[in-house]
Amino acid sequence: MLTPKQQAAFDRARYQFCLDVFNREEERREALERKAQFYLSLVALFLGAVFFKLEFLDVLGDLLTARSTLPIYRLALAISLASLALSLLWTLVAIVKSTWLLSYRGEFPADLYTALFDPGSSFMATRNESGLLQSASMALAVALEHNMAVNNQKSRWIIRSGYGMIVAVFSLACLLGLVTILSITS
């Protein structure tokens, strides 16, 4: 059995550990949000580079409708264009889905004043330093577990958007290569 002094030291160490892990999970959340912003900016870059350059769209339209373009090349252009559009759409949906996961929990009770100062509060089992540290550690651990689950879900959606970006880059490379080759040979 621990002495009161040892118990207080243990409770402080447990609280500090929970706080450190909670802060690491918050840093992970921020890193995931930065990654989502990066992927979103890449989607915007792709859309700006491909679909807002009218000359490229004119050349692409001409190649798709020209009778001199072999059907296999038209099919390859259409597949590349559809693949690019679908992968960008998938990436955008995955990014939006990851940002909609906003149900993070705070590390303290919702009504902090009542929890700490109301004599009838059930937040602390015992009204001393050890009881406060135990209750605060427990609140941190509960919030940490919930936030970790949200971050894991967010991470899965970000990974999916990363796969979408890989397909988009490959599709864009194929599309640009085909357009370049067909423009030179036409």
Residue 152 has pLDDT above 90, yes or no: yes
Three-state SS at 125:
coil
pLDDT at 116: 65
Residue 119 has pLDDT above 80, yes or no: no
The proportion of the chain whose per-residue pLDDT surpasses 70, expressed as a percent, equals 88
How much is the pLDDT for 55? 78
Q: What pLDDT is attached to residue 79?
A: 94
Q: Tokens for 43, please give them.
A: 């989607």
Average pLDDT over residues 107-133: 71
Confidence of residue 115 (pLDDT cuts 50, 70, 90): low
Secondary structure (3-state) at 128: coil
Over 80: is that where the pLDDT of 54 sits? no
In this prediction, residue 93 carries a pLDDT of 92
Q: Answer yes or no: is pLDDT of 101 > 70.
A: no
Identify each DSSP E strand in the chain by its residue range: none
Instruction: Give the separation between CA 70 and CA 35, rounded to whole angstroms.
Output: 41
pLDDT(3) > 70: yes
State yes or no: pLDDT of 57 exceeds 80.
no
Query: For residue 112, what pLDDT is reported?
Result: 64
CA distances from 127 to 5, 83, 116, 136, 142 (A): 16, 63, 9, 12, 21
Would you state the pLDDT for residue 27?
Answer: 94
Mean pLDDT of 77-93: 92
In the structure, what pLDDT confidence band is assigned to residue 66 with cuts at 50, 70 and 90? confident
- Of the chain, the percentage scoring pLDDT greater than 90 comes to 31
Q: How confident is the model at residue 160 (pLDDT cuts 50, 70, 90)?
A: very high
Average pLDDT over the chain reads 85
Contacts of 145 (CB under 8 A, 6+ apart): none
